[in-house]
Structure 1
Amino acid sequence: METVGTAVDALPRPGLRERKKQRTRDALVRAALELIATRGYEGTTVDDIAAAVDVSQRTFFRYFASKEEVAFFVSRLAEAHVLEAVRERPPGEAPLEVLRRAVLDSWDGINEAVERLVPLELHLRVYRMIESTPALLAAHLRRAAELEEELARIVAEREGLDVDGDPRPRILVAAFGGVIRVAERRWSTGGDVSVAAMRELLTTCLDHVGPALAENWRTNGSPVRRTET
């Protein structure tokens, strides 16, 4: 029995390998964002990222398929939170309100999840670079289209619709995605690039969806103003 006990004690703790892999992955993400924020996306290579974590290029590719994938890893994490929030909204809620509440109500949880991985300030610095970096912008728009398709399918399922037979889920999500895009662009080029400013601007843009689509602009509503410092 003593021999068995000693052998068991010598075994690695359950999950130790997984935790080590997660630490390496997280270190690669942090290094990638630091380098991209400092040198720019085009000025950062996979070799640079791997060297910053003291691992080989081969090790990098065990975790990420490309530089683009690691650059958008944190954004994918945020998107996963939104998708889950949409799935968990109460049944019977209007589809547009589902999307609105899913984004705004999960805001703090998203930021907490990001901060467990990288400093929020670092994520925001890279996020701001999207508009001025063609390769990042192209990837961002492509990934946004993929997210919109997934959201449309979730909305259709919630409403008991065939997403390929009824255009409304895709129309709604396309309009909603456009609002998010407008908010992102105004935030990234504005004076105040804080998280609070982004949330305020996003809320304002979402509040203007109804008036922008249905009202007479000459007689109703007011334009969304740029957030000032």
Structure 2
Amino acid sequence: MGCTLTVVSPSPELTLAERKRLLVANELTEAALQLLALKGFDAVTVDEIVAAAGVSKRTFFRYFASKEDVVVQFLADMGAGIRAELAARPLGEPPSVALRHAMRVPVDACTDHPDHTERALRVVRLILRTPALRARFLERRLRWSDDLAAELTRRLKLDPADLYPRLAAGMALTAFDATLDRWSSEDGTDDPAELIERAFALLAPALDGPTRLAPLSAATPS
């Protein structure tokens, strides 16, 4: 997630056309999220979004099916960024450290400047306080959990039947949820990075304990 509240940056490997598409998508996402956060989800029209982004309505619908789809894609990209960070962490790193770094990716990118922090806070409040968007967030969060559990299974070389990866992914995402809830429910003076650090300090003993659990079938007495 960049400071413009988008999570996909142009890669040198992309073609010029692909880079242009990504830049347009980012511009649309930024314009839509800021308008939605400022005016409320129901009050913003697609016409207003395209006017703010400086593109045509036809261009908008080339990238997104609806206003809601902008937020859904934003959440999908955020999840991809979290998983990518976990995959990039050193294999010998304790799980609590690797997961903490992964969870900090979206937080750090949107709190690197006071203006960015305020804009990000508005978007978080929009998603958590709009029932339809919160439902999509929770739906997407389940996919994040699956992705993180799969990545933990790979990096720790665990049996897919082990309980640890799913439990660890759930704990990490609960820390992320608690951070967003606390940050958005207060006046925004809490530092979300500090909240993440405090949450993982509490979770570290459980995350870094025994990780190679026996498969459920082997642990159950016959």
TM-score, normalising length: structure 2? 0.72
Would you say the 8 A contact 1:85–1:106 is kept in 2?
no
> 1:1-229 maps to which residues of 2 (within 5 A)?
17-104=17-104, 108=108, 110-111=109-110, 119-163=116-160, 165-193=161-189, 197-210=191-204
Give the superposition deviation at 1:70. Answer: 1.5
The answer for unaligned runs of 5 or more in structure 1 is 1-13, 214-229
Would you say the 8 A contact 1:111–1:120 is kept in 2?
yes
Give the superposition deviation at 1:153. Answer: 0.3
RMSD between aligned alpha carbons? 3.1
Would you say the 8 A contact 1:47–1:57 is kept in 2?
yes
The answer for unaligned runs of 5 or more in structure 2 is 1-13, 208-222
CA distance in 1, matches of 2:157, 2:18: 39
**In structure 2, do the counterparts of structure 1 residues 23 and 177 end up closer, same or farther at CA, with 3 Å as the change threshold?**
closer
**In structure 2, do the counterparts of structure 1 residues 134 and 89 end up closer, same or farther at CA, with 3 Å as the change threshold?**
same
**In structure 2, do the counterparts of structure 1 residues 105 and 144 end up closer, same or farther at CA, with 3 Å as the change threshold?**
closer
**In structure 2, do the counterparts of structure 1 residues 102 and 35 end up closer, same or farther at CA, with 3 Å as the change threshold?**
closer
**In structure 2, do the counterparts of structure 1 residues 69 and 105 end up closer, same or farther at CA, with 3 Å as the change threshold?**
closer
**In structure 2, do the counterparts of structure 1 residues 162 and 68 end up closer, same or farther at CA, with 3 Å as the change threshold?**
farther
Give the superposition deviation at 1:173. Answer: 0.8
Q: Report which of the two structures shows the higher radius of gyration computed on alpha carbons.
A: 1
TM-score, normalising length: structure 1? 0.70
- Count, aligned residues: 193
Give the superposition deviation at 1:207. Answer: 1.1
CA distance in 2, matches of 1:184, 1:106: 11
**In structure 2, do the counterparts of structure 1 residues 35 and 81 end up closer, same or farther at CA, with 3 Å as the change threshold?**
same
Counterpart of 2:42, as a letter, is E
Give the superposition deviation at 1:198. Answer: 0.7
Counterpart of 1:152, as a letter, is A
